[in-house]
Amino acid sequence: MKISGYQMFWLVSISSMIMISYLPIKLAAEESLQDCWISILLGGMIMMAITWIMLRVCMQNKDKTIVNFLKDLLGTVFGKIIVIFYFLAWFLQMATTAKGLADFQNLVLLHNTPMIIILLCMLFLVTYVVYRGGITAISRCAEVIGPFFVFILYAQLFLTPQDMDMKRILPIYADSGWFHILKGTLNSFNYMVDPSIIFMLFFFAENKRTISRAILWGTAVAMFWGVLTTLVLLSVTGPSITAQLVAPVYSLTKFVSILNFVQNIDALFIPFWLLGAFIKLSVCLFILSYGLSEWVGFKKWKLTACLITLVLLAYVIYSTHNIRISYTLKDLLLTGFFYPIIYIVIPLILWMIGSIRQRRKASSLLDKS
What letter would DSSP give residue 170? P
What letter would DSSP give residue 263? E
Q: Which of 152, 128, 130, 149 is nearest to 139 (CA)?
A: 130
Q: pLDDT tens digit string along 223-265?
A: 898 888 888 888 888 777 777 777 777 777 777 766 666 566 6
What letter would DSSP give residue 205? B
Written as one letter, the residue type at 54 is M
Determine the pLDDT at residue 96. Answer: 83
- The three state secondary structure string of 282-327 is HHHHHHHHHHHHHHHCCCCHHHHHHHHHHHHHHHHHHHHCCHHHHC
CB atoms within 10 A of CB 24: 28
Domains of the chain: 5-59+87-323 (1.10.4160.10)
What letter would DSSP give residue 64? -
Statement: residue 8 has pLDDT above 60: yes
Q: pLDDT tens digit string along 17-71?
A: 888 887 788 888 887 787 888 888 888 898 889 889 988 888 888 888 888 888 8
Contact between residue 212 and residue 205 where contact means Cβ atoms under 8 Å apart = no
Written as one letter, the residue type at 342 is I
Average of per-residue pLDDT values in the chain:
82
Q: How many residues does the chain have?
A: 369
The whole-model pTM stands at 0.87
